[in-house]
Amino acid sequence: MPQPANRPTLHAKLSSSDNALGAVRLMLAVLVIFGHAFPLGGFQSFQFGPFIHSGLHGAAVDGFFVISGYLIFASALRTRTLAYFWRRFLRIYPGYLVAILVTAFLFAPLGSVLEAGTKWEAASAIHYVTGALDLKPSQDGIENTLNQVPWPHTWNGSLWTLFYEALAYVGVAVLCVANPVRTRVHIIVPALTLMATLAYVTLPPTFFSSTFSSAFGAIADNGLRLWTHFLWGMLAYVAGKHIRFNRISFFGSTVLFLFLTHTSVLPETSGKIVGLISLVVAVLSAGSVLKTRIGSNTDLSYGIYIYAFPVQQLLILCGIANFGWLVTALSCVSITAVLALLSWKFVELPAINLKHLVPARHW
């Protein structure tokens, strides 16, 4: 049996093509669907003694941000700033833009046909699109639609995180653009991660909005959790040459995280800290030790994430909730996977192929 010292480091595993991050992202996207099925379908949480399950959609989004922090930071360190922003734009924005157009001018009109007493309004649909062009939708729904569903008046409740993802990209660029800062990331990133973690586990949820009257407060409150997980992904990259995960790391951290998520055995502060670290280890160790190439060449995770919510709303209008939580979730996975494949082949991949228009000269 090889000695632990000979096992590839996290940096080596995730820098090669022999990793399972594509499969992990796909799994996280599916978990968002299963979690959203509870509130969108009007289903109650499952309870088994002290264990309460109401979905892992929040944890899945946190996992996305951990992976993103690792990969985006690695990209920024080796890519000049203009090319870095160009590649981030191509990966996020074209798929997002098509998704909001499809939601406004296909899903919403179809929803008004399925839902009695509603009428799709073009003016509201146009405002929905124009108000979302900055990655921060100014309205959740389209007037006079989704009036009779458990989660009313909201066509795509998943898109809000993309604004905070984009802000994280900007923060990474600031760290990497100046050589004196970029060469000291081994000090700066741990310090930022520590400060963000302390704020995340100790401050009340509305601390910044109650302290600052501007929009900054609400943005900081909403983004703190996501940015903290993003920073932990960056920290893992900084320390990646010294980290070695194995299957025990993966299974142990996953079991610990699931246990903490479904119970309240630890006080809130310590529970947040242990839960955060166990999620980081679970996600990144899964990417480094699992032997699967699913999602490596055809990445459906983003398409699933941006289309699942409106698909679920349409399914609820069709009465799928009458067949139970599991059927509701599985039906959404099936339909959304097809849309995600179309998005990948005809929107996302063609956009990604434009990345070479801006040379990514190495530092």
Place of tokens 């405002």: 127
The predicted model gives 84-106 an average pLDDT of 97
CA nearest neighbour of 193 among 248, 267, 119, 273:
273
Tell me the whole-structure pTM to 2 decimals.
Answer: 0.94
Q: Which two tokens stand for residue 230?
A: 């993003």
CB-CB neighbours of 314 under 10 Å:
21
The predicted model gives 143-169 an average pLDDT of 96
In a domain, 89, yes or no: yes
In a domain, 229, yes or no: yes
* Predicted pLDDT of residue 48: 80
Q: 214-254, pLDDT tens digit by residue?
A: 788 999 999 999 999 999 999 999 999 999 999 999 999 99
In a domain, 220, yes or no: yes
| Under 8 Å between Cβ of 335 and 315 | yes
* Predicted pLDDT of residue 274: 95
* Predicted pLDDT of residue 5: 53
Structural domain count, the chain: 1
| Under 8 Å between Cβ of 317 and 149 | yes
Phi/psi at 51 (5° precision) = -95, 125
| Under 8 Å between Cβ of 278 and 260 | yes
Quickly list DSSP for 203-262. Answer: S-TTHHHHH--SHHHHHHHHHHHHHHHHHHHHHHHHTGGG----HHHHHHHHHHHHHHHH
In a domain, 295, yes or no: yes
Q: 4-37, pLDDT tens digit by residue?
A: 557 889 999 998 888 999 999 999 999 999 999 9
* Predicted pLDDT of residue 212: 84
Place of tokens 């990969």: 71
Q: Which two tokens stand for residue 20?
A: 């399972």
In a domain, 169, yes or no: yes
Question: Where in the sequence is the domain holding 198, given as residue range(s)?
Answer: 4-46+55-357
For residues 342 and 331, what is the distance between their CA atoms, to the nearest angstrom?
A: 17
In a domain, 363, yes or no: no
In a domain, 362, yes or no: no
In a domain, 18, yes or no: yes
